[in-house]
Amino acid sequence: MTDGIILIDKPASMTSFGVVARIRRVLSQQAGKKVKVGHTGTLDPFATGLLILCAGKETKNAMKYIKLDKVYEATIRLGQTSSTGDPEGEITEVNGTQPSREEVEKTVAKFVGDIKQTPPIFSAIKIGGRRAYHLAREGKDVEIPERTVTIHSLEIVDYDYPELKIRTHVSSGTYIRSLASDIGQTLGTGAYCTQLRRTKIAEWDVADARTLAWFGITD
């Protein structure tokens, strides 16, 4: 395929740009010429799940995919915080308070609808032309303005302290790491996201995606 979209099930411990580079290499080798490939919204390196890649002429339409709603499944650890909001950051113990199921349900319900959210400083958002995570890694102060996002639905899949598993349908621009942190702050326990999987982007489902191994990519 040299023109169109490609659904990829991204593995953990790989950047979205890394996925793009590998698929570009394979498609270019198959076509005997350089094929343009781009993604339509990053997934954090620790996260897995659906990436929509655009190839060839379809790269001109990438923006229409970026603005689509998404569905995620996430595991949130209560009682601790992370400097990055995920397992890759510095972990800090907060307290051992164990909220009841009822307390967690009431707290989670507060986040459904239009909410204010501040994206993580370790994110791909551009500040003054540079990625926020580059600035954060350099130890510079990073101020990211809060934004309004929409949580269409947010359900508890399982709760066994300290792990809270959720499934949520959100608008474009929503950060699940920020959602996890905000839930923990509201509960008074602190929290960070230990696992994250994107299962849907609009009508596209990760069940229909290809793995990198399907393309013969093993590195």
d(CA 115, CA 130): 26
Mean pLDDT across 179-195: 97
The predicted-structure confidence for 4-15, as pLDDT tens digits, reads as follows 999 999 999 999
- The yes-or-no verdict on residue 135 having pLDDT over 60 is no
Q: What is the mean pLDDT of the chain?
A: 91
Domain parsing of the chain, residue ranges: 4-67+203-215, 70-201
d(CA 219, CA 152): 37
List the structure tokens of 46. Answer: 């620790």
Q: Do domains 4-67+203-215 and 70-201 have the same CATH topology?
A: yes
pLDDT band at 118 (very low <50, low <70, confident <90, very high): confident
Q: Which of 9, 44, 86, 182 is catalytic?
A: 44
Pick the CATH number of 4-67+203-215 from 3.30.2350.10, 3.30.390.50, 3.40.50.620, 3.30.460.20: 3.30.2350.10
Top CATH class of 70-201 equals alpha beta
127 versus 107: which is more confidently predicted? 107
Residue 9 appears among annotated catalytic residues: no
The pTM of this model reads 0.91
Full DSSP string of 116-159? EE---SSSS-EETTEEHHHHHHTT-------EEEEEEEEEEEEE
Q: Chain centroid to CA 162: how far?
A: 21
Name the helix (H) or strand (E) containing 170. Answer: strand 163-170
The predicted-structure confidence for 20-72, as pLDDT tens digits, reads as follows 999 999 999 999 999 999 989 889 999 999 999 999 999 999 999 999 999 99
Question: Dihedrals φ, ψ of 72, to 5°?
Answer: -125, 150
- The yes-or-no verdict on residue 129 having pLDDT over 70 is no
- The yes-or-no verdict on residue 160 having pLDDT over 90 is yes
